Amino acid sequence: MEVRDVGVDASPLGADRARLRAEVRYDTGSMAGEEYWFDVPKAHAAELSTSGNPWVACLLPLAAHTGEALRVPFPVDAPLLANATRLMRIWSAWYPGVSVVPVEASGEAPALHPSRAAAFFSGGVDSFFTAVRCRPLAAPGERVPIDDLITVWGFDVPLDRADAFARLRDRHEIAARELGKHFIDVATNLRSTRWREAQWSYLAHGAGLACIALILERRFHTAYIAGSVAYRDLHSWGSHPATDPLFSTVRTAIVYDAIAYLRTEKIESIVDCAPAMRALHVCYESESDENCGRCNKCRRTMLVLDLCGALARCDAFPRKTIDLRDVERFDCSHPFDFRELQDIRKLALSKGRVDAARAIDRSFARTRRRTRLRAGVAAIRRPLGGLLRAMRGRP
């Protein structure tokens, strides 16, 4: 695949927006090519990158997924170009079928002197935790505040939900102002292109975030990606402390943040943050700006807030209380859900909430019973299915 015709134009989304776009031509597949674009507020148009750095970061997961060589006929920083191979080697070790492909570029990107640090801001627990803290740099003892918060339209909230994103953007902008940060909303069609084949969760979303930071590499010397898991829960994933920093360039460091903290610790640390209690957004089920209050992630977050005495004053969820009978029905068959509930159980006991701990114990017992039942049904179905196929004369 090859990147062509990179340019900056006025955005169709509004007179106050500017668009960085390029044509991406494919070597294989059913389509010859398509346009990829990124919109930013017009005030940041002069800070849009003219290098090949964001396009390498953006397209590397898709190239590795399809097995196509990646050609970016624009200057690319030497560290990013070298690390592209390392990234693909890690991905190919994690996932069968992911290839290590050639990456071609032209020259090295010009020297820049960006002056600000940014953090990606979904409004979730992880991003609020990152936003309210100062982050350490590589030099011992040196710390730098986060200047800007970036929210992306087209990732969690689809492009066809303009109304939902407008509400989310307004809440995030208010939260950023209250936290003393500058707010930047970026829109992109990445997940509406062939790029979506690269499996957002498992392979591509760290690259997508790094790409957003690098389209504004003239502005940012550091971009923080709020880590979604702690050391204990590390596994192959699209955003990972082993891969995200490899998207760094000479001038922009990509940092995977806060890996040392459990989710319960993060929630405890933001319960006194008024912007978080108004704008917290954790739900991925709704594909909207609202928390559904029904999915596992919503209910786990609500339970921790309740244990911390904060759910009643949190406007981000549809209910101000949580029914422990719902806790008993939590499905914790996935190991991650089980570990999260173990952490919450420990928090409940530390808060003297024996009732909540017992409800979690009952959810564990219920899940074990359901798991045994499913295993028993599967054990019956296998020989029965073989018998039925034999009776029908099938292999």
pLDDT in tens, 96-113: 999 999 999 988 877 788
Are residues 217 and 353 located together in one domain of the fold?
no
Residue 282's pLDDT is what? 94
Are residues 171 and 87 located together in one domain of the fold?
yes
CA distances from 362 to 249, 332, 365, 369 (A): 50, 11, 5, 11
Residue 136's pLDDT is what? 47
Are residues 239 and 147 located together in one domain of the fold?
yes
Are residues 27 and 77 located together in one domain of the fold?
yes
269: in domain: no
Are residues 238 and 302 located together in one domain of the fold?
no
| Total-model pTM | 0.89
C-alpha 136/C-alpha 2 separation (Å) is 37
* 267, 304 Cβ separation under 8 angstroms: yes
Domain-terminating residue out of 238, 257, 276: 257
- Model confidence pLDDT, tens digit, residues 261-310: 999 999 999 999 999 999 999 997 777 789 999 888 999 999 999 999 99
- Which parts of the chain sit beneath pLDDT 70? 134-144, 380-395
Are residues 166 and 110 located together in one domain of the fold?
yes
Looking at the 3D structure of the chain, how many domains does it have?
A: 2
Helix (H), strand (E) at residue 39: strand 33-41
Are residues 231 and 345 located together in one domain of the fold?
no
Domain-terminating residue out of 240, 257, 274: 257
148: in domain: yes
Are residues 242 and 335 located together in one domain of the fold?
no
Print the domain residue range for 172: 2-257
273: in domain: no
DSSP string, 214-242: HHTTTTEEEEEEEPSS-GGG--S-SS-TT
262: in domain: no
Are residues 245 and 343 located together in one domain of the fold?
no
Q: At what angle do helices 296-307 and 354-391 cross, to 10 degrees?
A: 160
Phi/psi for 33 (5° steps) reads 180, 175
Residue 111's pLDDT is what? 77
**Longest Cα–Cα distance in the chain:** 75
Residue 232's pLDDT is what? 87
CA distances from 300 to 129, 353, 358 (A): 17, 15, 15
353: in domain: yes
Are residues 57 and 192 located together in one domain of the fold?
yes
Are residues 293 and 242 located together in one domain of the fold?
no
C-alpha 288/C-alpha 169 separation (Å) is 12
